[in-house]
Amino acid sequence: MTLIGHLRELRNRVGIALLFVLIGTAVAFWWYEHGLGDFIRAPYCNLPEDLRYNEADGSCGLLVTDVFGGALIRLKIAFIAGIVLSAPCWLYQIWAFITPGLKRNEKRFGVSFVAVSTLLFALGAALAYISLSAGLRLLLGLAGEGVVVALTAQDYIGFVISLLLAFGVSFELPLIAVVLNLVGVLSHAVLARSRRWIYFLTIVFAAFITPTQDPFTMLLMAGPMCVLFELAIQVARVVDKRRAKREAALGLQGLDDDEASPLDAAPSPLDPRPSALDEPAQTQR
């Protein structure tokens, strides 16, 4: 393709991806009144009655302080849910655009990376949602007796989204360490030697990135991250052992970075191609 052809294809695929996001947003906007809104409010509504705002009939509720607040909150939730619902479609558009320029092994690594990263993000978001009620109970309980807690819909939705994103993104960091090891940038020896610093920095990172700033949520994020980092270290150990065996078989083990590798002087076989003599003679008329 020419440069104009690539730009035209990129424009078409971005347009198709946005169309799928729009369809997903419309579906989520309808779904809001059929379970999605209750799913978002469930961690807050599961709190004891003295820690949440109760309406006249005893049900929990969130406050809206402006005229367009309810509509904007519903649109915001529908847009985020639409991105999640349409993720297979727009991810396929991205993959279809970049896959012609990849080799076979690069395609395999790309599919594995996307699958594992999606699983880790979903795992982190699910853990954040499960721990949301406990974190809210701890934070709102610090207000003490005689204080009525009434959360606005804007503050609560923003808090939930930031917590889900924080857990989901943080669970991707061990995968980045594995990718750096696969490309030869980060070795197992460096990771093993820095294990204590990795755990310490993980705890510090969890303390800063969690929006709740309470020790329960911080430890709930730091614990699984430390386990994932330890798993990444063990994966790097296996990868480095296989790389060392492969280099030893090729005679490349122990070479310095500025030392030339031995060359294989044996001629490589040529692809069999039909010669001009093998082609059938064509008669001229």
In a domain, 252, yes or no: no
- Residue linked to tokens 């990135």: 209
Q: What is the mean pLDDT of residues 177-186?
A: 83
Q: Identify the DSSP state of 148.
A: -
Q: Is residue 283 part of a domain?
A: no
Q: Provide CB contacts within 8 A for 188, sequence distance 6+.
A: 181, 233, 236, 237, 239, 240
pLDDT at residue 27, as a whole number: 92
pLDDT at 274 over 80: no
Of 183, 167, 186, 182, nearest in space to 228 by CA: 167
Domain range for residue 205? 3-244
Q: Which two tokens stand for residue 203?
A: 């705890």
Q: What is the pLDDT of residue 34?
A: 82
| First vs last C-alpha separation in the chain | 38
What pLDDT, on a 0 to 100 scale, did the predictor assign at position 19?
Answer: 94
Q: Which one, of 34, 37, 45, 38, lies nearest residue 151 by Cα?
A: 45
Domain count, the chain: 1
Q: Is residue 254 part of a domain?
A: no
Contacts of 212 (CB under 8 A, 6+ apart): 135, 139, 163
Write the pLDDT tens digit of every residue in 86-138: 888 888 888 888 877 777 776 777 778 878 888 888 888 888 888 887 777 77
Residue 16 has pLDDT above 90, yes or no: yes
Q: Is 52 helix (H, G, I), strand (E, B) or coil?
A: coil
Comparison of pLDDT for 145 and 16, the residue scoring more: 16
Q: Is residue 15 part of a domain?
A: yes
Q: What is the pLDDT of residue 18?
A: 93
The predicted pLDDT at position 178 comes to: 87
Q: Is the pLDDT of residue 15 over 90?
A: yes
Q: Which pLDDT belongs to residue 212?
A: 66
Burial class (CB within 10 angstroms; exposed 0-12, middle 13-18, buried 19+) of 43: buried
Give domain status of residue 264, yes or no: no
Q: Within a domain: residue 29?
A: yes
Model pTM?
0.72
Dist CA 216 CA 127 (whole Å): 13
Report if residue 123 sits inside a domain.
Answer: yes
- The per-residue pLDDT for 23 is 94
Q: Kindly state the average pLDDT of the residues 151-155.
A: 82
Reading the block at residue 257, the tokens are: 């970075």
